[in-house]
Structure 1
Amino acid sequence: MSKHIGATLSALALAVVVSGCAGGSGTTTTASPPPPSGPSATVAPASSAPMTSAPDASGPTAPGGAADLKTASTSGGQAVVDSKGMSVYVFTKDTKGAGTSACTGSCAAAWPPVLTDSAAPAAEGVTARLGTITTPDGKKQLTIGGMPVYHFAKDRAPGDIAGQGVGGVWYLVDPAGDMIKPAAVGGY
C-alpha cells in the first residue's frame, strides 16, 4: 500500500511540475480550453462562469466567485473593466494572437497586465473571445480577442480612464474586443 501511495504522489508531483512549466508564445484557436499537454496560451469562450481562485497579490484579479472581466459605462463609452471596475486597455503595438506582450520593463510598470489565476477566464457582458498568455514571470495575463489587456497605473478608482488614448497607442476595449478610439474633435 505504501508503494502505491508513493507512486501516486510521485505522479502527482510530476504532473504539477509539468503543468507549472507550461508557458510559451503560441495561442490556441479553439473555443474550449486545450488539454494541459504542452506550452501554449489558453483560450476560453466568454462566459459568466465564476472564477474560483484567490486574488494575486502582484496585480488586480477577480476575487473568488466573481468574473475576471465585465462591462461598464464610462465617459469613453461602454468598456471592459475588471471585477473591481478598473478600466482595461489594449496596446496597439501588441500583435493580435502573438501570445506575447510588447509591453515589458518600464512599460509594464506603468501599464500592469490584467492577471488571472483561472485557466478559463470568465466575463459578464464581454462577447469577444477570452484567453490568457504567460507573462515573463510566469503569471497568466488576460487576452480579449487575442490581444493582451492592461491596467493604467494612473487610474486610481473604478471608472477612471486616464489611459484612454495615451501616446496614440493605448485604448479602452469594448465588449466585442475592439479598441474604443476617441471621436475626432471639431470634425477633423
Structure 2
Amino acid sequence: MSEPGFLRRPRRVAAVASVGALLTLAAACSSGGGSSSTSMSNPPAGAPAAGTTVATGTATVGGAQTTVLTAPDGHTLYFFTPDTASGQPTCTGSCAALWPPLTSATPSEASGVTGKLTVSATGGQVVYNGHPLYEYKPDSAAGQAKGEGVMGEWHAATPSLAAGANPAPASPSTSGGGYGSGGY
C-alpha cells in the first residue's frame, strides 16, 4: 500500500513550481522604473557583485573582428542609445529581462579598458564613460555580438566608447532580432 498523502505530494510540488514560474514571468514583464535585475555574470541574490571586472575581448561585429568590452564571463557588453547622458539606465523591467544590466558595487577594469567606470545611482549598474552597460541574453558564448544594431539602438561597447548622448555604433547598424516594443 502507498503511504497516506503520497498522491498529494506531486500536486504540491507542481503548485509551488507554478507559483514560482508566475512570479518570474510577472517580474520579467513589469516595466516599472527602479527595478533591478541581475546580470548573467552576477550572483542571483540580487545584490551587485563586490568586484566585477570589465575586460576586453574580440567579437564579430558587423562582419568584422572588433575589440569589445566584456563581462567577467567573456560575453560582449552593450550600450543603449536612449540611456540618459547622466549615466542613468532606461532599460528596466521587461527590457532588462532580455538585456540584463551588468551590476557591481566596485567595478574594476582589466588592461585595455581605458575609460572611466562608475556605478549608477540606482541599481548598481556599471557605467562606462557615462553609458550603462548590458549583456544580451541570446549571446550564449564569448565572441558573439548578436545584439549589435538591434532596433538601431543597441550597440557593442568598445574601449573607445566616449562620453556623449548618442555615440556612433561600433559598426553599421543591422536590423532584426531583438526586443519588440515597449518596456523602455
Length-normalised TM-score, structure 2 = 0.59
User: Alignment length, in residue pairs?
Assistant: 124
3-state SS in 2 of match to 1:167 = helix
Structure 1 Cα separation of the partners of residues 157 and 68 of structure 2: 6
Map of 1:87-166 to 2, 5 A cutoff?
A: 87-97=76-86, 99-118=87-106, 121-124=107-110, 125-135=112-122, 139-166=123-150
Q: Which amino acid aligns with 1:127?
A: T
Structure 2 Cα separation of the partners of residues 142 and 69 of structure 1: 9
User: Residues 184 and 150 (structure 1 numbering): CA distance in 2 closer, same or farther, change over 3 Å?
Assistant: closer
Residue of structure 1 equivalent to 2:160: 176
Say whether the 8 Å CA contact 1:62–1:68 is kept in structure 2.
no
Q: Which amino acid aligns with 1:72?
A: G
Say whether the 8 Å CA contact 2:152–2:173 is kept in structure 1.
no
Structure 2 Cα separation of the partners of residues 126 and 156 of structure 1: 23
- Could you tell me how far 1:158 is from its partner in structure 2? 1.3
Q: Identity over aligned residues, as a percent?
A: 33
Say whether the 8 Å CA contact 2:150–2:173 is kept in structure 1.
no
Q: Unaligned regions of 5+ residues in structure 1, if any?
A: 1-24, 26-54
**Structure 1 consecutive aligned stretches of length 4 or more whose deviation exceeds 6 Å:** 61-64
CA RMSD of aligned residues (A): 2.7
- Could you tell me how far 1:92 is from its partner in structure 2? 0.4
Residue 60 (structure 2) pairs with residue 72 (structure 1): no
- Could you tell me how far 1:177 is from its partner in structure 2? 2.1
3-state SS in 1 of match to 2:120 = strand
- Could you tell me how far 1:57 is from its partner in structure 2? 1.8
Length-normalised TM-score, structure 1 = 0.58
Q: Unaligned regions of 5+ residues in structure 2, if any?
A: 1-33, 35-41, 163-167, 175-184
User: Residues 141 and 80 (structure 1 numbering): CA distance in 2 closer, same or farther, change over 3 Å?
Assistant: same
User: Residues 132 and 63 (structure 1 numbering): CA distance in 2 closer, same or farther, change over 3 Å?
Assistant: closer
- 1:144-164, CA deviations, whole angstroms, 9 ceiling, x for partnerless residues? 001111011111111121111
Say whether the 8 Å CA contact 1:91–1:169 is kept in structure 2.
yes
User: Residues 157 and 146 (structure 1 numbering): CA distance in 2 closer, same or farther, change over 3 Å?
Assistant: same
Structure 1 Cα separation of the partners of residues 172 and 153 of structure 2: 15
- Could you tell me how far 1:62 is from its partner in structure 2? 6.8
Q: Which amino acid aligns with 2:88?
A: T
